[in-house]
């Protein structure tokens, strides 16, 4: 049993679940307490110990099914598979000895022989790999080419086995040959399905907020992109008003903030008025925890309209946050924190539009942006940071690098994605928002001012 669990854990780890030794020990201890032969209980125990968040449950279920159902033959024909075991070993040994120069070949043969570890590791590597090498032309070919390699290896191994099973010199009876063919076909099918499968954590736990509050009647419901110049000015005034109101609310909240410990100094001082009797007790003030904000704004065409209003609101409310770091990007990341700190907001927005070092003619590339962020700015994300990304997730069919967003999620408190596109067209064409959605805590449609205000309010209060 211990060995079985260990094997399973190695597979889970290879497929990207993080499982500690302590958890394995706990699990083994607990297995002694239940009826191991009852599969529901067995699975529940493994799941309770190895999949420790909602996000991992789906992934775990898939691995569990693969390991205990697809790779092991059903208990019903356990005897049959035991009979076949010797032949399987024999065949795969011959295959292993064949001259080859592709490491993937070994992994495929191992997989066929019943050890999926290497195969899963390789798949995991491809799924999370990023195109870190600088390429002369940007292309989304890396992962595709690697998958293609695996497909070729699977096909060639399958062909080799078919040939081998035809070979009359092999000491295997004809019925066994038939069984073996069936068995191997099943395994190859499994291998192909794993290759095609994207282990994305379910997004049913990602909060999807749809704001319906209609605060500003007409302008509030207009999409950002359709504002005229005059309406922009009106909008700004409306936003100013709103900001003032929000600030009032916030300061009121600060006024009734909960008290901290006893302030001895102040209490004694006030006691002096009553002849040393501490009539009034003074408490220390405890400032409300303020969060840090990091924003990544796509400033290409359509999205910019939404991004500018968000930045406008965020910087008007700057005193509600510890620090606001902002970045803009199209095909690369530019840090504009300083611009917004030293200039008036509208001035800063103009600066970003006209003078900042942003290639407005380039095609949007989220992958490069995330890679750049990972390389240079990862350390500004802390457990107090809320990361806000404004963008449509349209990456022009470039590598989306959603694994990097996953790493960023692990470092910060919350990841919120604001998408100015209507939800019906998410995931269509080159939109990678579905891939990113799995890595976010919250995804919001944000195409007009009312939706934006609803979000900012939630953030500040």
Partner 1 sequence: MDFKSVNDVHERLEMAGYIPSKEISTVVFLAAATQKPVLVEGPAGVGKTELAKAIARSLDRELIRLQCYEGLDEAKALYEWEYAKQLLYTQMVKDRINDIISHTATLAEAVDRIADQEDAFFSDRFIQPRPLLQAISSAKPVVLLLDEVDKSDPEFEAFLLELLSDFQVSIPELGTRKAISIPFVLLTSNNYRDMSDALKRRCVHLYIDYPQRETEMQIVRLKIPGIEEKLAADLVDAIRRIRLLDLKKSPSISETLDWAQSLLALQINELTPEVISETLNVICKYQIDMEKVRKNINKII
Decide if residue 255 touches partner 1 (CB under 8 A): no
Q: Which of 255, 258, 355, 357 binds partner 1 (CB under 8 A)?
A: 258
Residue count, binding to partner 1 (CB under 8 A): 47
Decide if residue 252 touches partner 1 (CB under 8 A): no
The residues pairing with 415 across neighbouring beta strands, listed in sequence order, are 387
Cβ-Cβ contacts under 8 Å for 136 (sequence gap 6 or more)? none
Q: Is 340 within 8 Å of 332 (Cβ atoms)?
A: no
Choose between 244 and 257: whose C-beta lies nearer to partner 1.
257
CA distance 1 to 31: 9
Decide if residue 187 touches partner 1 (CB under 8 A): no
Decide if residue 249 touches partner 1 (CB under 8 A): no
Q: Which of 4, 35, 241, 254 binds partner 1 (CB under 8 A)?
A: 35
Decide if residue 290 touches partner 1 (CB under 8 A): no
Q: Residue 414 Cβ, how far from partner 1 at the closest point, in Å? A: 5
Q: Which of 138, 183, 409, 444 binds partner 1 (CB under 8 A)?
A: 409
Q: Which of 1, 2, 33, 256 binds partner 1 (CB under 8 A)?
A: 33
Q: Which of 121, 247, 266, 413 binds partner 1 (CB under 8 A)?
A: 413
Q: Which of residues 417-446 bind partner 1 (CB under 8 A)?
A: 441
Q: Which of residues 8-27 bind partner 1 (CB under 8 A)?
A: 18, 20, 22-23, 26
Cβ burial of 94 (10 Å; 0-12, 13-18, 19+) is: middle
Q: Is 358 within 8 Å of 334 (Cβ atoms)?
A: yes
Distance from the Cα of residue 58 to its chain's centroid: 14
3-state helix, strand, coil in the chain (%, to 5): 60, 10, 30
Q: Which of 44, 144, 159, 338 binds partner 1 (CB under 8 A)?
A: 44
The residues pairing with 283 across neighbouring beta strands, listed in sequence order, are 262
Q: Which of 277, 355, 357, 361 binds partner 1 (CB under 8 A)?
A: 277
Torsion of CA 27, 33, 38, 43, to 10 degrees: -20
CA distance 237 to 25: 62
Q: Where are the beta strands (DSSP E) in 242-391?
A: 259-262, 283-285, 292-298, 323-329, 333-335, 385-390
Angle at 83 between CA 79 and CA 86, to 5 degrees: 140
CA distance 411 to 384: 9
Q: Which of residues 46-75 bind partner 1 (CB under 8 A)?
A: 47-49, 51-54, 57
Choose between 207 and 350: whose C-beta lies nearer to partner 1.
207
Distance from the Cα of residue 77 to its chain's centroid: 40
Choose between 50 and 309: whose C-beta lies nearer to partner 1.
50
Q: Which of 3, 210, 229, 252 binds partner 1 (CB under 8 A)?
A: 210
The residues pairing with 179 across neighbouring beta strands, listed in sequence order, are none
Angle at 293 between CA 291 and CA 298, to 5 degrees: 165
Choose between 54 and 425: whose C-beta lies nearer to partner 1.
54
Q: Residue 438 Cβ, how far from partner 1 at the closest point, in Å? A: 12
Q: Residue 50 Cβ, how far from partner 1 at the closest point, in Å? A: 9
Site string for partner 1, 345-384 (x = CB under 8 A): --------------------------------------xx
Q: Which of 37, 111, 45, 41 is nearest to 75 (CA)?
A: 37
Q: Which of 1, 2, 40, 256 binds partner 1 (CB under 8 A)?
A: 40
Q: Which residues bind partner 1 (CB under 8 A)?
A: 18, 20, 22-23, 26, 29-30, 33-35, 38, 40-41, 43-45, 47-49, 51-54, 57, 204-205, 207, 210, 212, 258, 260-262, 267, 277-278, 281, 286, 288-289, 383-384, 409-410, 413-414, 441
């Amino acid at each position: 049993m211990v060995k079985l669990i260990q094997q399973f854990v190695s597979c889970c780890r290879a497929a990207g679940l993080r499982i500690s030794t302590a958890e394995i020990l706990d699990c083994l201890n607990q297995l002694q307490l239940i009826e191991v032969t009852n599969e529901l209980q067995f699975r529940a125990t493994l799941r309770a110990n190895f999949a420790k968040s909602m996000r991992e449950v789906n992934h775990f279920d898939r691995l569990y099914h693969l390991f205990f159902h697809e790779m092991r033959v059903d208990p019903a024909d356990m005897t049959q598979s035991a009979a076949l075991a010797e032949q399987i070993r024999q065949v795969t040994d011959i295959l292993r000895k064949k001259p080859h120069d592709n490491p993937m070949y070994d992994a495929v043969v191992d997989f066929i022989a019943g050890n999926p570890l290497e195969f899963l590791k390789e798949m995991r590597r491809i799924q999370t790999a990023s195109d870190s090498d600088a390429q002369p032309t940007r292309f989304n070919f890396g992962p595709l080419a690697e998958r293609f390699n695996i497909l070729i290896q699977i096909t060639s191994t399958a062909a080799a086995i078919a040939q081998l099973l035809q070979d009359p010199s092999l000491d295997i009876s004809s019925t066994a040959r038939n069984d073996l063919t069936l068995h191997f076909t099943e395994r190859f099918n499994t291998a192909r399905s794993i290759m095609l499968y994207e282990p994305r954590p379910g997004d049913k736990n990602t909060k999807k907020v749809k704001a319906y509050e209609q605060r500003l009647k007409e302008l509030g419901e207009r999409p950002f992109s359709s504002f005229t110049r005059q309406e922009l000015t009106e909008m700004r005034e409306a936003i100013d008003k709103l900001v003032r109101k929000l600030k009032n609310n916030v300061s009121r909240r600060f006024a009734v903030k909960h008290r901290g410990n006893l302030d001895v100094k102040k209490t004694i001082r006030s006691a002096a008025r009553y002849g040393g009797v501490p009539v009034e007790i003074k408490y220390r003030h405890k400032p409300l925890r303020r969060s840090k904000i990091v924003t990544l704004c796509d400033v290409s065409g359509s999205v910019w309209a939404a991004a500018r209003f968000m930045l406008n609101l965020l910087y008007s409310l700057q005193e509600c946050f510890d620090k606001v770091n902002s970045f803009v990007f199209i095909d690369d990341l530019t840090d504009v924190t300083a611009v917004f700190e030293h200039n008036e907001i509208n001035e800063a927005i103009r600066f970003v539009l006209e003078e900042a070092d942003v290639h407005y003619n380039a095609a949007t590339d989220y992958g490069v942006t995330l890679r750049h962020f990972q390389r240079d700015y990862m350390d500004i994300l802390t457990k107090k940071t809320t990361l806000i990304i404004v963008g449509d997730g349209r990456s022009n069919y470039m590598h989306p690098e959603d694994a990097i967003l996953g790493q960023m999620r692990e470092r910060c408190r919350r990841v919120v994605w604001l998408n100015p596109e209507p939800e019906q067209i998410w995931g269509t064409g080159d939109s990678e928002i579905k891939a990113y959605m799995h890595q976010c805590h919250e995804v919001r449609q944000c195409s007009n001012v009312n939706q934006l205000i609803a979000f900012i309010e939630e953030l500040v209060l």
